[in-house]
Amino acid sequence: MTRAVLALGSNMGDRMATLQGAVDHLMAGEGAPRPVAVSPVYETAPVGGPEQGAFLNAVLVVDTDGEPIDLLRRAQAAERAFGRVREVRWGPRTLDVDVIAFGEVRDDDPDLTLPHPRAHLRAFVLRPWLDADPGAELPGHGPVADALAAVVAADTAGEQDLHRRDDLRLRLLEGSDG
């Protein structure tokens, strides 16, 4: 089994229902990864791209016996199931599911670069990941806690402010131990 990390985000429609649906979709069916933990939900301003609404973000930690490409295909299927259309880079979206890390795998494949090439720069990935797995390490970058501290220190303009939404909570499927 390999530990993998998925980042979830939504800024269109019923954002919370979409995130919950994505968790359920990712964990269902043959070959599904085993859920380990899901982070609290955070509300964040969009980073880059056109003017758009705030995101809800979370991180899902899973164990899988599949390959990285299998997890990417599962993530893309979840995006399609929730109406994801890729028209504008970093534009608004019903659902975004990124494979952030897959064990210690480091790969520059243009279809799935591992770890995610910008994960170490994004508080909306690092903060929820740290909540879900306090001892996490980002391959090639070290402890997630250190990467988050660096991002926070560098963000003097407050562009990566996060607001934890304790009124929103994702659940893992029945029978999981997360």
Q: Which two tokens stand for residue 103?
A: 């064990």
Scanning 10-104, the segments in alpha helix (DSSP H) are 15-26, 68-81
Q: Do 36 and 63 contact (CB within 8 A), yes or no?
A: yes
Q: Which residue out of 15, 98, 127, 131 is catalytically annotated?
A: 98
Contacts of the segment 87-92: beta carbons below 8 A, 24+ positions apart = 88/49, 88/50, 89/49, 90/46, 90/47, 90/48, 90/49, 90/50, 91/49, 91/50, 91/52, 92/11, 92/12, 92/46, 92/50, 92/52, 92/53
pLDDT at 172 exceeding the cut of 50: yes
Q: Which two tokens stand for residue 46?
A: 């969009």
pLDDT at 177 exceeding the cut of 70: no
Length of the chain: 178
The confidence score (pLDDT) of residue 50 equals 65
User: What mean pLDDT is predicted for residues 117-140?
Assistant: 96
Q: Which residue out of 84, 122, 127, 131 is catalytically annotated?
A: 84
CATH code 3.40.50.2000 for 2-164:
no
Q: What predicted TM-score, i.e. pTM, was given to this entire model?
A: 0.91
Active site residue 109: no
Domain ranges of the chain: 2-164
pLDDT at 171 exceeding the cut of 70: yes
Q: Which two tokens stand for residue 72?
A: 């990417």
Q: Do 175 and 38 contact (CB within 8 A), yes or no?
A: no
Percentage above 90 pLDDT, the chain: 76
Up-side HSE of residue 170: CA atoms within 13 Å toward CB? 34
Q: Which two tokens stand for residue 156?
A: 């003097």
> Which residues, other chains included, contact 106 with Cβ-Cβ below 8 Å and sequence gap of 6+?
114, 115, 139, 140
Q: Which residue out of 96, 122, 127, 131 is catalytically annotated?
A: 96
- Summarised one tens digit per residue, pLDDT across range 15-64 is 999 999 999 999 998 999 999 999 999 999 887 666 778 999 999 999 99
Active site residue 84: yes
pLDDT at 14 exceeding the cut of 50: yes
